[in-house]
Amino acid sequence: MLVTGQNPTRRSVLKSAALSSVAAIATPYVKGTYAAGRLTLGTLDHWVPGANNALTALCNKWSAKNNVEVKIDYITSIGEKDKLTAAAEAQAGTGHDIIFHRDWMIRTYAQALEPLDDIIGELINQYGPITPVFEYLGRIEGSWRGIPATRATVKPCCSRLDLYKAHAGIDLRDIFPADEAKHDKAKIATWTWEMYLTAAEKLFKAGYPVGLPMGQTSDSVDWVGALFNSYGVVMVDTKDNIKISSDETRAALEYLKKLMAVNPPEVYAWDDAGNNRWLISGKGSGIMNPPSAWAVARRDNPKVAENCWTHPMPKGPQGRFVGQLPTFHGLWSFAKNKSAAKELLLYLSQKTSVAKLVEASLGYDLPAFQSMYDLDTWRTVGPPLGTVYNYPPRGDEQTSIAGAPARTEVGAQIYNQAINTVMVSKFTQGGDKLDDAIKWAENELEATLRA
């Protein structure tokens, strides 16, 4: 499993050491004295209303200072239009200078992307190591092919304070206050998957179930991947060994059999918007998602929003993990203005720029540097005040991505085929016996290794 956190594992320590080495040996990026010309940026159309405006303002400011015309196209992820755009440009060898890449896209188009080790080296020198999930996806064959974009996310719990307190007797704000200095390790240690199940059963009985998607899109794959990591489940290791048939997998599946029984049955058909709608509707007591559902509820259902609290995932036998979905900006090798593009990417990655993007997204955007987790926005937005303070991974919560630690070529297939959630669905809804579901996953994993 690929992880990072304030209490690092041996693997994350080695990752950080490797990143520090990159910072030490990389040639510092030297800005040109005058960029001039024209630059095109294709980036994601933000889910949070109004958040695009901050990026536009930053680009306009940089544009005026550097005498570079910057044209921005905001591309929706609905219908995978952002991925289709990147695919078309890579094939045609023409398009935007800078293009947005989410999850595994950097690996897919690595050969068509300009190496960006010079910029990464400077950023690491400024802000410290990048979280390892970003390295896993963005550093291909020893070379960085993308710059972490602030629009990355993690997917922790977003729960209703009032419903948890009334029906499960749990004060989530007491366990996870909006101030890390007040975090009590003993209280936080009680927040386990077993405690989560007990709460979910009570909330289901009260008519306000948690809503955990079990489809084949990223929200489903990410939270199940985090749970698997917390149980020590490994699907394929770094040496292409298939490890899915294990006591850890069996324990995780037995647990999920109980948990999915107290979810609404429609979760098996949800897309990535299903859990958001569930929480915003007022019927749901909790989901696992970035703060986008809360941000929309502020507008559409304020009574729900004022009772939302984002907080860490439950802890399993092997630790506390949260799914992370990195995003990048890549520079095409066929870009016409590479010098100006690098300068813009470096500017947008500065903490002062990141702070504006985080503020505009109401704390939804998450930088790749833990040293930036002290930004004011997470303390000050609401209601309720501090609702997203615990959105950045703090304390013992470590980031992970489903598919790791397999080679990225294999990990991408594991993730995109949703092998983890399909296996769970076969056991929890499809009627397969436990070992039959695991055998199915083994066969699928063997196919990924042959591909």
Range list of H helices, 232-327: 247-260, 274-280, 292-300, 302-305
The whole-number pLDDT of residue 360 equals 95
73 strand-pairing partners: 42
The whole-number pLDDT of residue 50 equals 86
- By mean pLDDT, which of 36-50, 342-356, 407-421 is the weakest? 36-50
Rounded to whole angstroms, the Cα distance separating 325 from 400 reads 9
pLDDT band at residue 370 under the 50/70/90 scheme: very high
Residue 424 confidence (pLDDT) above 90? yes
Mean pLDDT taken over the chain: 92
Residue 1 confidence (pLDDT) above 80? no
Residue 25 confidence (pLDDT) above 80? no
Angle between helices 247-260 and 434-450 (to 10 degrees): 120
Decide if 97 contacts 130 (C-beta within 8 A): no
Angle between helices 193-206 and 247-260 (to 10 degrees): 20
Range list of H helices, 234-350: 247-260, 274-280, 292-300, 302-305, 338-348
Whether the upstream peptide bond of residue 156 has omega within 30° of 0, thus cis, is no
Rounded to whole angstroms, the Cα distance separating 109 from 330 reads 9
The whole-number pLDDT of residue 36 equals 64
Residue 173 confidence (pLDDT) above 80? yes
Q: What percent of the chain has pLDDT over 70?
A: 92
Q: What number is the average pLDDT over the span 38-53?
A: 92
Q: Which of 394, 400, 391, 392 is nearest to 231 (CA)?
A: 400
The whole-number pLDDT of residue 12 equals 38
The whole-number pLDDT of residue 15 equals 36
Residue 416 confidence (pLDDT) above 90? yes
| pLDDT, tens digit (0-9, with 9 covering 90-100), for 392-411 | 999 999 999 999 999 999 99
The whole-number pLDDT of residue 451 equals 81
Token pair, residue 45, equals 């159309």
The structural domains of the chain, ordered by start, are 10-151+326-369 (3.40.190.10), 154-324+397-450 (3.40.190.10)
Q: What number is the average pLDDT over the span 196-200?
A: 98
Q: What number is the average pLDDT over the span 29-55?
A: 78
Range list of H helices, 232-290: 247-260, 274-280
The whole-number pLDDT of residue 10 equals 30
Token pair, residue 377, equals 């926005």
Q: What number is the average pLDDT over the span 269-297?
A: 95
Torsion sign over Cα 259, 262, 264, 266: positive
Radius of gyration of the chain from Cα atoms?
A: 21
Rounded to whole angstroms, the Cα distance separating 76 from 391 reads 24
From the centroid of its chain, how far is CA 230? 16
H-run or E-run covering 159:
strand 157-160
Which residues contact residue 406 at a Cβ distance below 8 angstroms, ignoring those fewer than 6 apart? 235, 236, 237, 238, 240, 414
Rounded to whole angstroms, the Cα distance separating 286 from 269 reads 18
Whose structure tokens read 């994350």?
12
Q: What's the first-to-final CA gap in the chain, in angstroms?
A: 22
